[in-house]
Structure 1
């Protein structure tokens, strides 16, 4: 069969370390959602199945967390009870906070209700002295509550996507000033705490256009078919690093959001719905790694604190198998580039645009609002199953070994050659998502692993359109707008029922088996 996928190696072949950078951080909508029982149940499942170590969310200082208010005469009033309840849950679970300092509390906001259904106050604080005092006060509170060693293991990121109007009603210079004040406040509490930024959105063509506005670079790419030939750069990154050098500021890590589709909106609400090539993410991450290596902060960690197949919370491809395959391919093609690439988000308990209007509404989450896993959840679960030693990898697969046990684990992804792009966004309907899933032809998978004990058992699990595909199960029921509890339970069972079989090595200690993978399939091969 043309285009066979071959996985072949010896069990004791030389290896290199394989950090699971994909499970370091995961995203969620806002802090207050983390007080919900369904959110907490889903994070518990995601942590146990996918191994997520840190979680990042917006809204730490929003009104609904009651962190900061003022008396009539302007004296600060601090209240950390809701934050404590959330952070206590996270740490008890074994998940650490990747702290995003933002947005402004209402009492400090220059403008209010600038973005999101829940009315985030995306403007600079009116009083940077009071802001600095808030940062110092809550950081000291965490150290008192959780201990210095614990808090030193956290990350402190300044704001979110300040280059986008609405998220930040201010200028780039104002953001840099905010970073300076915040970073100094953190380091004044303890010099070993880790702080970073600029947490900007997306990459744009050529960094010289990533200044106060993205209008110029947007006009450059509008209507072009060769967008992948352009020199894409992280917004504000070079200017941010230059500013920090000039002001002698700490940068323990850098952050940005390398979405491959759906160009971010500018201050006028204008944008282009673009889809870059399937290698956009590996290329962007490698470029960022090189940029940091050549900077004045070569030892800074690189954390991409938001990422998925699309930056839209209403992109129907988020619910589908192609998104899971895209995620898997991109992650395995980006090894040794960054310290984390945080999937945005783990759950559809997410209210930036209000609640989704139906079960499968294209939400960011890898788990639906009622708790049903989407294909992307299975992708991260399979990635988590990989070993910590890399034996061999190719265009369509990776073979690993677990150092402690010597067990082998391989993961195969069939991203169709007929799709040269990242998964095209499907904003207004499911039509594009359906067309994308229909692309491609089956491919033969041939596995030959030697150096095993005779009869060594392996578990082979396949995720495809017929197995573990939640939205497929929903369609099979007629796509009910308001599923009954019985229907939801059925969809959930089908969503968790991947195709599983057991195969054995021969008496010669060689595992040999062939199978056919449909387009967009994932196959996990685990030694038992």
Structure 2
């Protein structure tokens, strides 16, 4: 691949939408010291500006109490968490869920930590609770600050695993919620429906999921199907017809034929085989949303993809290896200018939906292990955060940018052509499958001729590959211990910082010729370091 670039070109301004938001497991985990320390490091390195998590309204946060007809609120734990978030320098992307037990209409729960997933027994009391919370936050942090947050109503209500009600009941929940929040302050930004994920059939056309209408298991090639978002058109039409405020639309574009753990096996109601869609499916999904918004009379509405990863399972060994990192970079570069956020799920493996992680490298969603060891995916976001905000050149293998001072930065990556799908799932504990994926593909040669530089401009190249910065390589040398010693944690953390580095200098004419051989699943970062 040969590219020419005159670096004096002005470039096109773009936003780092990938840094808008990042996910975390649940609110209660955020009260832990290690979680907070890891988040502080992540914000500093990766530039995330908002954080979204489940469980804000669950009983362990002790907010809502209802006794003999009397409602009371205890804001202490929420205050501790939100105070610390703002101190770290990250704002809440508030997800209102799940249901406090005293307000729940049923007993159904989800996850190891048993979040109640039933509708409220009284929608007025629910609305009053949200209004009280909003008023409390405004009193504590000020209207200007709270108006800069986002408020999302529930999580993935199209899935019976997260909402035992119907589509119409969720729409009613949104209506009473947005009215309650806007009654406190009209500038609060409220949206939904946070559905997951995209489907190619009519399973969600009714009030609840119809398993008999699943179609993905009937085809060999998922790409032959036409995928679309869930409930989004109905939700937009509901808001328009009811004249309800809507500040953003949200969805979860996981690139798979299933939406959560447990669905990827035959269940007698239709089946999802645990397969991945094509490698560019997230871009397709965003373009579908943009077209829908225009057609429904909402052009320009903010799009927030509030959960996303290479798969929706917290036991996918591929999350710990290089391919996950390259998939992140590819998807983010592909989607420049198309969305307001693409929120990675999640920043840390201190995450307990299926219970605590069984070992250090268990394929958790996190950019960091439970011990705070940086995975390749973490380094991918660190590289992306260091890009400038003016795009000079982009291809399927690289992007060159310029920062406010005029210095160049660039990222090169090889998502091999042999891998036509998003990163396949390597179910825990199958690390061998993840390593096979990591060994798949061919190298790519990149020739880049930069002109218009000052003479003797210095550049640095940092390479993330199998033997540089990839913690699982050293972990394997240790014998893949389930429990790490303190010394092993220190060594692994140090290893993630030891990238391969090279330096280059432009010639007397201000030109620099780079010849890079990108091995499959490698990432290389270019930065101008001075004259």
Give the TM-score band, short-chain normalised: over 0.9
Q: Distance in 1 between matches of 2:463 and 2:212?
A: 42
Helix, strand or coil for the counterpart of 1:468? coil
How far 1:337 moved relative to its partner?
1.2
Number of corresponding residues:
522
Q: Distance in 1 between matches of 2:204 and 2:348?
A: 34
CA 1:165/1:308 → structure 2, altered by over 3 Å: closer, same or farther?
Answer: same
How far 1:208 moved relative to its partner?
7.5
CA contact (8 A) 2:326 2:380 kept: yes
CA contact (8 A) 1:309 1:323 kept: yes
Alignment of 1:413-424 (within 5 A): 413-424=413-424
Helix, strand or coil for the counterpart of 1:502? strand
Aligned to 1:231: 226
Helix, strand or coil for the counterpart of 1:100? strand
Q: Distance in 1 between matches of 2:116 and 2:230?
A: 22
How far 1:223 moved relative to its partner?
3.9
Aligned to 1:202: 197
Q: Could you list the per-position Cα deviations for residues 284-325 of structure 1 after superposition, in whole angstroms to 9, with x for gaps in the alignment?
A: 111111111222322320000000100001111111100100
Alignment of 1:36-51 (within 5 A): 36-51=32-47
How far 1:431 moved relative to its partner?
3.2
Q: Could you list the per-position Cα deviations for residues 376-411 of structure 1 after superposition, in whole angstroms to 9, with x for gaps in the alignment?
A: 000000000110001111111111111x21001111
Mean CA deviation greater in 209-218 or 80-89: 209-218
CA contact (8 A) 2:13 2:390 kept: yes
Q: Distance in 1 between matches of 2:247 and 2:153?
A: 12
Is residue 2:123 matched to residue 1:122?
no
How far 1:217 moved relative to its partner?
7.6
Aligned to 2:406: 406
How far 1:515 moved relative to its partner?
2.8
Q: Distance in 2 between matches of 1:210 and 1:424?
A: 28
How far 1:257 moved relative to its partner?
0.2
Structure 1: runs of 5 or more not aligned: none
Alignment of 1:368-517 (within 5 A): 368-402=369-403, 404-428=404-428, 429-517=430-518
How far 1:218 moved relative to its partner?
5.8
How far 1:510 moved relative to its partner?
0.9
Aligned to 1:522: 523
CA contact (8 A) 2:27 2:54 kept: yes
Helix, strand or coil for the counterpart of 2:109? coil
Aligned to 1:178: 173
CA 1:296/1:440 → structure 2, altered by over 3 Å: closer, same or farther?
Answer: same
Aligned to 2:329: 328
CA contact (8 A) 2:96 2:151 kept: yes
Is residue 2:25 matched to residue 1:29?
yes
CA contact (8 A) 1:207 1:235 kept: no
How far 1:368 moved relative to its partner?
0.3
Is residue 2:57 matched to residue 1:56?
no
Instruction: State the 4+ residue runs in structure 1 displaced beyond 6 angstroms.
Output: 266-269
Q: Distance in 1 between matches of 2:202 and 2:402?
A: 40
Q: TM-score, normalised by structure 2?
A: 0.95
Q: TM-score, normalised by structure 1?
A: 0.96
How far 1:11 moved relative to its partner?
1.3
CA 1:123/1:208 → structure 2, altered by over 3 Å: closer, same or farther?
Answer: closer
Aligned to 1:286: 287
Q: Could you list the per-position Cα deviations for residues 238-293 of structure 1 after superposition, in whole angstroms to 9, with x for gaps in the alignment?
A: 11111111211111100000000251257979643121011111111111111112
Is residue 2:8 matched to residue 1:12?
yes
CA contact (8 A) 2:201 2:213 kept: no
How far 1:206 moved relative to its partner?
4.6
